[in-house]
Amino acid sequence: MEAPPMNLVPICAVAFAAVLAILSILAAIISGICRLFPVNAADLPNPGAEEAVRQAVAKAFPDCRVAEIREIKS
């Protein structure tokens, strides 16, 4: 008894459509979360300031590296 031949093109098309559908659903969920919880531009880190701190620490303490920078807002 031989198994019926499988056609690779329809299998790949169905798999592609399934992945595309799942990614579309995830994109819609992420978009909804971003609309529910908007990010204030003032809350984002300032990359220029972080790089300045890293350079200052590297100059003052050559054997050390900055692992994390936290800003305390009062």
> In angstroms, rounded to a whole number, what is the distance separating the alpha carbons of residues 36 and 25?
17
Residue 13 inside a domain? The answer is yes
> Could you tell me the residue range of the domain that residue 36 belongs to?
8-60
Per-residue pLDDT of the chain (74 residues; tens, 9 = 90+): 676 778 999 999 999 999 999 999 999 999 999 999 988 777 777 788 888 989 999 999 999 888 888 777 76
Residue 73 inside a domain? The answer is no
Residue 33 inside a domain? The answer is yes
Residue 45 inside a domain? The answer is yes
For residue 7 the two structure tokens come to 């056609």
At residue 45, the 3 state secondary structure works out as coil
Residue 16 inside a domain? The answer is yes
- What's the whole-model pTM score? 0.52
Residues in Cβ contact with 67 at an 8 Å cutoff, skipping those fewer than 6 apart: none
Number of folded domains that form the chain: 1
Residues in Cβ contact with 58 at an 8 Å cutoff, skipping those fewer than 6 apart: 64, 65
CA distances from 25 to 2, 15, 16, 31, 41 (A): 39, 15, 14, 10, 27
Residue 42 inside a domain? The answer is yes
